[in-house]
Amino acid sequence: MFRLIVFLVLVTISAAALTRPGPDAVETAIGTMIRDEIEAGSLDDINDPVAALLFQACKADAAACADLARLGISVDYLDHKLFAQVDVAGYGRSASCYAAFTQLFCPSGLRR
């Protein structure tokens, strides 16, 4: 039984290391998150007047505007071998996310 548990742990660790999203995959996921936030209207309460105007104009074409909005967001990618920590900040909001098993998880979501 002990060998089975050790084997399963080793398989899980190997899977985490092999399926950790790289910086390019994280950039794609962040672009998708921005587009979804624009479409949902959850970025309407931004204090910066230029950014607020940008997001109001973007509701017509959120996909194209997400690329432009991405320019105002800083992303720090920290590789921890088994997973990656991704810190995102911009437009008065921030998030701490984790990239593992081909996914980007942001447990706390965007916060002010």
Tell me if 17 sits within 8 A of 40, measured CB to CB.
Answer: no
Helix, coil or strand: residue 88? strand
Domain boundaries, the chain: 2-105
What are 48's two structure tokens?
């910066």
Separation of alpha carbons 29 and 89, rounded Å? 15
pTM for this prediction = 0.73
Q: What are phi and psi of 99, to 5 degrees?
A: -110, 120
Tell me: the pLDDT tens digits for 37-94? 777 766 666 677 777 777 677 766 767 777 777 888 899 999 998 899 999 998 778 8
Statement: residue 13 has pLDDT above 70: yes
